[in-house]
């Protein structure tokens, strides 16, 4: 049986009996954690174990652990990380090495807690109009440099046994509003987009997983990328990405349709799996029913992505920490 075409979250720090029964029935491809799900290492390990036990397999468990404001696992139990843009500025010529080191250390902390997938690297390219909700998370305004640093982040995660999820496909940098609250749009030509916004995704098109952005590219379609067959085809055919594509959270205000309609629309457009966050259990049931099981093509991509998980290479994390501090200094 194929996986359910959803990635779902939990209400609290442990699964309720209702959630366990629902997850066993819905068989979501994976799960995602938020700050409300996280108290301490032992608790997170117990929760991730319950999630996997509910579906009877080693399901991927995702998190947003970028650093700065977007960081779910925090002190005192885990390291605090600077925003990516700040870290890269401090690192200067050592930016790639620094971002690799911190991603490798992040991967260690994630794996220790039972988390094996991180929604990074973020390779959206900064431009003059990029909304402030995104700028501190970005790696820069040069597509080539952004791709190089994105590769370092992905390599650090993979070396630590954590799957990277490149985002936000095919580029969120021209968004002038926060897609959590409104729908970003850009009228840039396909030629300009190809030269800038799309370029890092093409350079990283071999990564196992990607996440869409809820952005309208009016030169291609009047629908946001997540719901646009034209944009999704461009991601597959022109950018050349054949990894598993998940949506960004479909509860974000950029998408103003009903949740079931969004889920069906995203899958019909070409996404492989629907991400639903911060929803009541009944909404999770409805979206899981609307999404159904993965298509055979999506299942094949999912299995390839899971096969990219590997046993972490053996490293001295304290030595890596010291090296990271020295490089930043």
In this prediction, residue 130 has a pLDDT band, given cuts at 50, 70 and 90, of: confident
Average pLDDT value for residue range 96-110: 97
Q: Which residues contact 71 (CB under 8 A, 6 or more apart)?
A: 64, 65, 80, 81
Quick check: 1 pLDDT over 90? Answer: no
Q: Which residues contact 163 (CB under 8 A, 6 or more apart)?
A: 60, 116, 117, 118, 157, 208, 209, 305, 306, 308, 309
Average pLDDT value for residue range 64-68: 96
Q: Across the chain, what does the average pLDDT equal?
A: 95
Residue 329 has a pLDDT of 78
Average pLDDT value for residue range 83-109: 96
> How far apart are the C-alpha atoms of 12 and 190, rounded to whole Å?
43
Residue 129 has a pLDDT of 84
Q: Please pick, among 124, 197, 221, 248, the residue that the annotation labels catalytic.
A: 248
> How far apart are the C-alpha atoms of 144 and 141, rounded to whole Å?
9
| Structural tokens at position 103 | 């991603």
Q: Which residues contact 11 (CB under 8 A, 6 or more apart)?
A: 19, 36, 281
Average pLDDT value for residue range 54-72: 97
| Strand-pair partners of 244 | 209
pTM for the whole structure: 0.96
Query: Catalytic residue at 168?
Result: no
Residue 158 has a pLDDT of 98
Residue 134 has a pLDDT of 86
Quick check: 149 pLDDT over 90? Answer: yes
Summarize pLDDT for 10-60 with one digit per residue, the tens: 999 999 999 999 999 999 999 999 999 999 999 999 999 999 999 999 999
In this prediction, residue 306 has a pLDDT band, given cuts at 50, 70 and 90, of: very high
Dihedral of alpha carbons 60, 66, 71, 76, sign = positive
> How far apart are the C-alpha atoms of 164 and 107, rounded to whole Å?
10
Summarize pLDDT for 162-199 with one digit per residue, the tens: 999 999 999 998 887 767 877 888 999 999 999 999 99
Residue 182 has a pLDDT of 77
Residue 184 has a pLDDT of 87
Helix ranges (H only) for the chain are 17-26, 41-55, 84-91, 95-112, 132-135, 143-159, 190-195, 199-203, 229-237, 259-269, 281-291, 296-307, 317-328
Quick check: 160 pLDDT over 80? Answer: yes
Residue 110 has a pLDDT of 98
Summarize pLDDT for 233-270 with one digit per residue, the tens: 999 999 999 999 999 999 987 788 899 999 999 999 99
Average pLDDT value for residue range 69-82: 96
Average pLDDT value for residue range 285-312: 97
Q: Please pick, among 42, 129, 180, 222, the residue that the annotation labels catalytic.
A: 180
Could you please state the CATH topology (level 3) that the domain comprising 58-280+291-328 is classified under: TIM Barrel (3.20.20)
Termini Cα distance of the chain: 52
Query: Catalytic residue at 180?
Result: yes
């Amino acid at each position: 049986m194929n996986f359910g075409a959803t990635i779902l979250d939990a209400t609290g720090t442990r699964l309720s009996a209702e959630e366990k029964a629902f997850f066993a029935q819905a068989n979501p491809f994976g799960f995602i954690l938020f700050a409300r799900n996280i108290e301490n290492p032992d608790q997170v390990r117990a929760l991730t174990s319950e999630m996997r036990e509910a579906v009877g397999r080693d399901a991927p468990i995702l998190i947003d652990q970028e650093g700065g404001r977007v960081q779910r696992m925090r002190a005192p139990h885990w390291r605090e990380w600077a925003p990516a843009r700040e870290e890269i500025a401090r690192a200067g010529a050592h930016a790639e090495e620094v971002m690799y080191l911190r991603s490798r250390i992040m991967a260690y902390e994630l794996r220790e807690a039972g988390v094996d997938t991180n929604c990074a690297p973020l390779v959206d390219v900064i431009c003059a109009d990029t909304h402030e909700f995104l700028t501190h998370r970005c790696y820069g305004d040069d597509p080539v440099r952004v791709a190089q640093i994105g590769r370092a982040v992905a390599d650090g995660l993979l070396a630590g046994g954590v799957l990277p999820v490149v985002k936000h496909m095919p580029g969120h940098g021209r968004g002038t509003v926060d897609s959590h609250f409104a729908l970003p749009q850009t009228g840039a030509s396909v030629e300009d987009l190809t030269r800038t916004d799309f370029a890092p995704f093409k350079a990283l098109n071999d990564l196992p997983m990607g996440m869409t952005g809820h952005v309208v590219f009016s030169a291609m379609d009047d629908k946001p990328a997540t719901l646009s067959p034209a944009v999704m085809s461009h991601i597959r055919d022109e950018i050349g990405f054949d990894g598993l594509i998940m949506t960004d959270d479909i509860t974000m205000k950029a998408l103003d349709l009903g949740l079931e309609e969004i889920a069906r629309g995203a899958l019909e457009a070409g996404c492989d799996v629907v991400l639903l966050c911060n929803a009541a259990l009944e909404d999770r049931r409805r979206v899981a029913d609307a999404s159904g099981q993965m298509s055979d093509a999506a299942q094949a991509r999912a299995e390839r992505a899971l096969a990219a998980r590997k046993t972490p290479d053996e490293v001295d994390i304290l030595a890596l920490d010291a090296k990271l501090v020295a490089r930043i200094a």
